[in-house]
């Protein structure tokens, strides 16, 4: 059972944060921009928008949402959500898209064309709180939640070869 305090904390943290960390049924959590509308976090993803692939966000499936504190930047609350994918041009879909259009930065087309593209090429999702928060200010874990970095062909820099001249420190003048 979600208390009124928990719902208020979820709503305020989602409204004030520019992005939320979402984890679906697979993969790792990913930061996604969103809007809070009508009791849910609304997201848009697909070609030309933020990617949902690899998260396992399916209609009727579970998700976990993490919100951060606006003033400190640390994790404030983590809550379970139920994923809903409204049908394009339905009343719920139109209301979510109207809110999302206002927050979409640097859209490549007009608002009407943007909504048309979202209806045909993208997914609009609503993540509604579905249970008691997993973490909140009085129940944060003490262990580090850091995940191992994903594998990459990039590597760290190697030491400077001894044949190259030593670099001076920036901001220091050479003494004579």
Domain boundaries, the chain: 4-129
Locate tokens 């048309």: which residue? Answer: 116
Query: How much is the pLDDT for 169?
Result: 54
Map residue 22 onto helix, strand or coil.
Answer: strand
- In this predicted structure, what is the pLDDT of residue 73? 75
The secondary structure of 62-118 as a DSSP string is EEEEEEE-TTT-SEEEEEEEEEE-PPTTSHHHHHHHHHHHHH--S-SS-HHHHHHHH
What confidence score (pLDDT) does residue 94 get? 93
Distance from C-alpha of 54 to C-alpha of 27, rounded to nearest angstrom: 6
Contact, 128 vs 39, CB < 8 A? yes
DSSP lists the bridge partners of residue 128 as: 82
Q: Are strands 19-23 and 40-45 parallel, antiparallel or unpaired?
A: unpaired
Position 172 scores a pLDDT of 56
Question: What are the beta bridge partners of residue 23?
Answer: 64
pLDDT of residue 89: 81
**Contact of 41 with 20, CB cutoff 8 Å:** yes
**Neighbour tally for 130: CB within 10 Å:** 13
Superfamily of chain region 4-129? Electron Transport, Fmn-binding Protein; Chain A (2.30.110.10)
Question: pLDDT tens, position by position, for the chain (176 residues)?
Answer: 778 888 999 999 999 888 999 999 988 889 999 999 999 999 999 998 999 988 999 999 999 999 988 777 788 899 999 999 999 989 999 999 999 998 888 888 888 898 999 999 999 999 999 989 998 887 888 888 777 877 888 777 777 777 777 666 555 555 65
């Amino acid at each position: 059972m979600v208390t009124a305090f928990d719902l208020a904390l979820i709503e305020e943290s989602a409204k004030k944060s520019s992005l939320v960390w979402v984890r679906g049924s697979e993969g790792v959590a990913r930061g996604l921009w969103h809007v809070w509308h009508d009791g849910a976090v609304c997201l848009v993803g697909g070609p030309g928008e933020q990617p949902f692939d690899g998260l396992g966000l399916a209609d009727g499936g579970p998700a976990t949402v993490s919100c951060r504190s606006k003033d400190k930047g640390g994790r404030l609350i983590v809550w379970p959500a139920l994923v809903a994918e409204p049908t394009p041009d339905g009343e719920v879909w139109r209301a979510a898209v109207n809110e999302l259009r206002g927050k979409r930065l640097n859209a490549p087309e007009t608002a009407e064309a943007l909504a048309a593209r979202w209806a045909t090429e993208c997914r609009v999702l609503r993540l509604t709180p579905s249970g008691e928060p997993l973490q909140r200010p009085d129940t944060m874990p003490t262990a580090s939640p850091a995940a191992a970095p994903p594998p990459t062909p990039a590597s760290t820099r190697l030491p400077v070869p001894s044949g190259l001249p030593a670099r001076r420190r920036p901001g220091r003048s050479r003494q004579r």
